[in-house]
Amino acid sequence: MVTTSSLDLKYLKDPDVRLMLRVRDGDEKAFSQLVENYQDRIVSIFSHILSDHEAAEDLAQEAFLRVYRTRRGYQPTAKFSTYIFHISNNLASNTRRKKKRQKEVPMPAGKTTTFGVRPEEELAVEKSALMPVRQLSREELREQVRQSLESLSDREKTAILLHKFEGMSYQDIGVAMEMTDAAVKSLLARTREKLRVILEPLIK
Amino acid sequence: MKRIVRVSSDLRSNLVAYLDGELDEESSRQVEMLLAQSEVARHDVEMLSRSFDLLDMLPRENASENFKQETMASVAALDSKIPLSQQQWLHSLRKGLVLLCCVVVLGLAGFGGYVAGQQLWPTETEEALEELPLFQNLHHYREVGEVEFLKQLQQQNLESPLQGDYSAEAAPAEEEEQQ
């Protein structure tokens, strides 16, 4: 049963919050729907942060399992996307800490990852096949952009990815990353400035 | 005519927030004034915007086809080995025990209150027994009439009719009345 006494009713408008409340009440189909809604988004963010697709899928699965394990105590105090990215950010932070402790050798920035290709990108490549010079230029540019992202710290990377690909507001990023709005503003300004310095020579 | 305006670090950080639509009205107005005056600022804003747009070139990696199935299988496995602390029946039992404890505490409190009440406030019968000597000597008091007279008797060291056992005296009086 949903108790709304201590809840902010505005979050109940979020359809994913309503799905999660059904999960809390034992509806497994609702959970399956949530996985479907968020799997690509979370795997994509983790892929960019970890530069490892397989590790990204493992971590994304762990994030979903954590959501499921803690479902009984769920209270809708934020949008569901903010909630799940908060969990994901914590998991990513823990993974980074573990890696540091184990003193693993980090993957070099320029190394090719296992990223796949989206259908629209396939289409773009097909079109560009008629213009070999332009295709090369585009691939080079993409590699430069990828490297610029790699040059960022994990926090900077997470913040910029949540903002760029999830369209999250500073406030939501703050909740997901446990930071104040002002700190998010400062972090994103610094990150964008770094990207500008790196990428400006590539912009014609 | 081009005007070169120095961009403070605060305003610089506001440029990004301005692009993201995260500034309040007053700060937005300041940034717009700066943009109107400074070509450097306009250039910075354009480069910030275009470099951010370049991130669209990054591939969006999707989950593999069997990701959902594997996740749901893990969930099913999780359900089959739910730790005792998360078992539903244990939650119900815990709630029941808490409720039972509340009932017991309330019952004990009620019983204690009843007993205390019995001790503090005597019943009508107890009050009547306590005042029995008064009733037994009522006819003496009526004859005396005034309290002042009793006090005078006490001052003269005469034995007060309030003291001692008057039941023996009362009995002959009653007998006389019957005769």
Question: pLDDT tens, B23-64?
Answer: 999 999 989 998 999 898 899 999 999 999 999 999 888 999
State the pLDDT at residue B48.
Answer: 93
State the pLDDT at residue B104.
Answer: 94
A 10 A CB-CB count for A134 gives 12
Asked whether residue B68 carries a pLDDT value surpassing 90, the answer given is: yes
State the pLDDT at residue A80.
Answer: 94
Whether residues B63 and A40 touch (CB distance < 8 A) is answered with yes
Residue that wins the pLDDT comparison between B149 and B165: B149
- For residue A44, give the nearest of B22, B54, B60 by CB distance: B60
- Distance from the Cα of A73 to chain B's closest Cα (Å) equals 11
Q: Which residues of A touch B58 (CB under 8 A)?
A: 48, 142, 145-146, 149
State the pLDDT at residue A65.
Answer: 95
Tokens for A96, please give them. Answer: 């980074």
Residue that wins the pLDDT comparison between B103 and B139: B103
CA proximity to B81, closest of A65, A108, A5, A44: A65
The amino acid that residue A169 corresponds to is S
Task: Give the number of A-B residue pairs with CB atoms closer than 8 Å.
Answer: 124
Asked whether residue A149 carries a pLDDT value surpassing 90, the answer given is: yes
Helices vs strands, H then E, count in chain A: 9, 0
Whether residues A170 and B22 touch (CB distance < 8 A) is answered with yes
Q: Are B62 and A38 in contact (CB under 8 A)?
A: no
State the pLDDT at residue A8.
Answer: 64
Instruction: Please report the domains of chain A, with CATH numbers, ordered by start residue.
Output: 8-104 (1.10.1740.10)
Mean pLDDT of A87-109: 73
State the pLDDT at residue B111.
Answer: 92
Question: pLDDT tens, A100-145?
Answer: 776 544 444 444 333 334 444 444 444 444 444 455 478 888 898 9
**pLDDT-based confidence at residue A85 (cuts at 50, 70, 90):** very high
Check if A72 contacts B (Cβ < 8 Å).
yes
Interface of A with B in 112-141 (CB under 8 A): 115-118, 121, 138, 141
Q: Are A194 and A78 in contact (CB under 8 A)?
A: no
Residue that wins the pLDDT comparison between B10 and A154: A154
Asked whether residue B107 carries a pLDDT value surpassing 50, the answer given is: yes
Q: What number of CA atoms fall less than 13 Å from residue B32's CA on the CB side? A: 8
Measured CA to CA, the distance from residue A37 to residue A35 in angstroms comes to 5
CA proximity to A139, closest of B53, B62, B59: B59
